[in-house]
Structure 1
Amino acid sequence: MAARRLLIVEDEFLIRMTLAEVLTDDGFEVLEAGDADEALATLEREPDLAIMLTDIQLPGSIDGRALAARARQTRPDLPVIFMSGRPDPGAANTTLDLHISKPYLPSTMSAAVRRLIGDS
């Protein structure tokens, strides 16, 4: 099931809950974090995540871009979807990254997750 496990890092509870519900319904095993610090702890104890979805603006010690950089210190091939309410063309700067602007349709996010993990 590791190929279908993902981490959602989003401080807005309703957005995180809705996205988690949609992705769970689509067959993914979803872990959730409300800030960067919680996400780092999850990344440390969950070595088999297939992908991380993170808001760029996060509470905690670091933002979503720095969170992705820290995650890739131990998992250089971890795909990341950056979510933001503001345009941020610099967020997705590798072939493992994707930037999706808010608001988005949950079906758009599900398709993006599948594309990045090679599960079309």
Structure 2
Amino acid sequence: MAIPTVPYALVVDDDPLILRHACDIPEEAGFRFHEAGTGEEAKTFLGDHADDVTLLFSDVAMPGDTDGFALSHYVAEHRPWIEIVIASGNVTPCPGDMPGKATCIGKPFDDRMLQQRLTETLPDNK
């Protein structure tokens, strides 16, 4: 798997306003981005474009069978090169909710802190 020259973030949130804001932050951190409104949509996208993605940034609470925790486990198992950042305003993860490599941040999140965290996931910290 070749890491893309300009990394892509897959941003997942069911709220269109939050999704738009959540896409701005990875873009400012040097990522291009793709968006998805549900966990199922994200999994479908990854089925076709996983080699382009270096970061998953997802909400926890989403409609359907695949919430952010389930999506993070799916990505860790099937696409282990993808870094994972989960955001939640209502849920505090319990042990086992997320894979060990995932990071959870609270909503509302501090844009500067999140941008720094995302920048750290760039290949070679570029």
- Secondary structure of the residue aligned to 2:34 is strand
Offset of residue 110 of structure 1: 1.3
Aligned residue among 43, 56, 59 for 2:60: 56
Alignment counterpart, residue 47 of structure 1, candidates 36, 46, 50: 50
For 2:119 and 2:30, locate their aligned partners in 1 and report how far apart those are by CA, in whole Å: 11
1:103 aligns with 2:99: no
The alignment's C-alpha RMSD in Å is 2.0
Which residue is 1:88 aligned to? 92
Distance in 1 (CA, whole Å) between partners of 2:83 and 2:120 is 10
**Cα distance in 1, alignment partners of residues 91 and 79 from structure 2:** 26
TM-score by length of 1: 0.85
The reply on whether 1:119 has 2:125 as its aligned counterpart is yes
Give the match for residue 22 of structure 2.
19
Q: What is the distance in 2 between the residues matched to 1:14 and 1:31?
A: 15
8 A Cα contact 1:19 1:106, kept in partner: no
**Equivalent residue letter for 1:21:** D
Report the count of equivalent residues: 119
Query: Structure 2 length normalisation: TM-score?
Result: 0.81
Higher mean alpha-carbon deviation, 67-76 vs 84-93, is at 84-93
For residue 15 of structure 1, what is the amino acid of its counterpart?
I
Separation in structure 2 between the aligned mates of residue 37 and residue 92 of structure 1, nearest angstrom: 17
Q: CA deviation at 1:13?
A: 0.9
Q: Which residue of 1 aligns with 2:75?
A: 71
Kindly indicate whether the alpha-carbon contact (under 8 Å) linking 2:30 and 2:119 is maintained by their aligned counterparts in 1: no
User: Unaligned regions of 5+ residues in structure 1, if any?
Assistant: none
How far is the alpha carbon of 1:23 from its aligned partner? Answer: 2.3
Runs of 4+ in 1 over 4 A off after TM superposition: none
